[in-house]
Structure 1
Amino acid sequence: MLLTVKKIERAPAKSRTYDLNDGNALYVRIKPTGGKSFIYRFRRPDTGKQRVLTYGMFPDISLKEARLMHAEAKALIAKGIDPSENKKQNRIQSSGENLFKSIAEQWLERNKPDWSQKTYRTNSGRLTNHVFPYIGSMPIAEISAQNILTLLHRIESKGTIETARRVSSLCSQVFRYAVFLDKIEYDPVQRVKKALPPLSKTKKHRAYLNSPKEIGGLVRALEGYTGHYIVKQALRVGLYTFTRSIEVRGMEWDEVDFENKEWRIPAERMKMKEPHIVPLSRQVMDILTEVKALNHPSNYVFPSIFSTAKILSENTFNVALRRSGYTKEQLCFHGFRATCATRLYEQGWAGDVIERQLAHVERNGVKASYNHATHLENRRKMMQWLADDFDNLRDGGKVIPLYKTA
């Protein structure tokens, strides 16, 4: 009796692998893990040796699709052609076309007419920044669930959980497109989803804002802050530069290069104990010029409210955010970094440039020096774009176009 979809769905996993017969040498193989795949048991036309050809996993491949593929394989056998070798040769001949990046670019172009320019730019940017550097040059048929898992963990470790989710969805759509093109048999992302808990549960991350509306509201809230003037301006500089709390609170006038519009943070105040240069946007320069005009007797740009010889206390920024109406579940000062990084990634800025601005230091000394030299100018453009973008969101405007990077 022929199989039905319900019968395949209800087939239980057992302690040993077993097959369900659909007739005409087409089977559904059930593994102890619960995996179900369509297979064809046949004998090679030339040697008579028994072979097994796998069509794909159920339900990624439907029963109807498996039967069509089976009919094509049987036709090849009738012509004296081994369908397994034929499939292998086809993949080898089109290996360049079968790279993940090639398939993904085809998928992007296929969908471009149906997307807005923003959607196309966002999807293309996510693949370019998060996926292509790691699996883009791999044959799509050789990419495993473990490759995808490693890729998503890499994104997740940076605190951009929503981006990890979206990248996962994009990769899945590319793989399903490849299944449609008969270049692979199943979507490995689906296996990762079953093997892992939701990304949001794998690690507790600092609260941050993600949507353009929320970011615009934050910029308005900081500008309208009614607490101490120094705290208000420190918060604003922290958002525009997405630096850490100790870096902002300990900022000294000697570290600010007004001529070159740079903030040079010494190694002792950096988490990675490496000096860091922060390009300053026009907005930050205006804030610093305004604060400097106060002529307060302190080496610190944002001295303590109680003593100009000391820096602001560690809890000052989060207390100010609570006073502005943000709960600890909604936002913390350290979340400014995730807010800025996510916004930049979502808008297509290069990952290397963003990571350098976050002061995630490259361990390779030669590469680090190269990155420092090549990324500073791009970081300068990026920081000005971000400040302009945040001001635009504050005013309820549309997304501004990217600067061209070198």
Structure 2
Amino acid sequence: MALSDTAIKNAKPGAKPIKLSDEKGMFLLIAPAGGKWWRLKYRIGGKEKLLSLGTYPEVSLKAARDRRDDARKLLADGVDPSENRKAVKSAKTDRAANSFEVIAREWYAKKLPGWAASNADKIIRRLENDAFPWLGGMPIAEITPPDLLKSLRRIEERGAVESAHRMRYYFSQIFRYAIATGRAERDVASDLRGALSTAETQHRAAITDPKAIGALLRAMDDYQGAFVTKCALRLAPLVFVRPGELRKADWIEIDLDKAEWNIPAERMKMREPHLVPLSAQAVAILKELHALTGAGRYVFPGARTNGRPMSDNAILAALRRMGFAKDEMSGHGFRAMARTILDEVLQVRPDFIEHQLAHAVRDPNGRAYNRTAHLAERRKMMQQWSDYLDKLKTGAEVIPLNAAA
């Protein structure tokens, strides 16, 4: 006889397991402890097997029969329902293991050692905010170009066109990693070339007119703020390193006797060690500052504690206090200033300038030049540059850029 809900509810456990039979091989197994499990007995390939259909009352009598009927349909097609269940579970596990987020985080971990910490933080934040919420759980092999484009459009719609282009680049890199690891067949992000709005190139503000540079240098000499900040301002144009490299300068990196600053690879954007020859003017500033901060780690410690470098906003804030607007001068602007004047006015060889800017300069065999390449010439260039800035500061006659060109 077929089971009924009343019979199931009234069934009591015994000293041994009890079977209450239903139809077509299904039965309810009642354990001595009171648990009730649905089971289906079937035969396939000449062997008798059991399939679990769930527990009562979580799985009702009707739901258990539906599961039984689904299993019997598989049997009719020659499919073992137990093996089918294992295959479905495995497929779900594989889908999760091959999801976009899992693979993207693998790619990120592989690339992390070659990135500066600030850049790595930006990349993972962009993925977590703009990609994972919508794409993270999708198997990467099933993601289509329209799926990616929807995420990129969300970034575009908030006005961050350049960020959308960067994200498309990250998508492409992640898909190429998935291809290399056998979890995708093609880079669908490549299909989106031309699909995004054109990003306007935004150059960091920089003063490059010689007369205006002189005015800036005089303003920095007259700066009335903290002495550490003033020294950072005065040193910035002389060494023209990136703002993060300057503010995190460590006294152990600086050899005042040799007039050298050796920045380790982990603090450089290109992950290559960088050597900065120090002019006599730069050494003088550092010697004066050493009396104040030399007992600590950082050349430019923070205002509140010596255990941290100065704020990444300190130099920008100082420039604003001196009256230089956001679209007039930036912390990165000292690099553009040096590159422009060294090339167009002082006629220094461009490769010397590129080396000193720590750009990716390659030798004829495609290898990155080491940090001491053209060191003698760069020492001369750095002193020439500092001397030229002194002339600008004192208002000496200068050659206009257009005349030099």
For this structure pair, what is the TM-score category when the shorter chain's length is used for normalisation?
A: 0.3 to 0.5
Q: Which has the larger radius of gyration?
A: 2
Query: TM-score, structure 1 length as denominator?
Result: 0.47
Q: Which one scores higher on RCO, CA 8 angstroms, separation ≥ 6?
A: 1
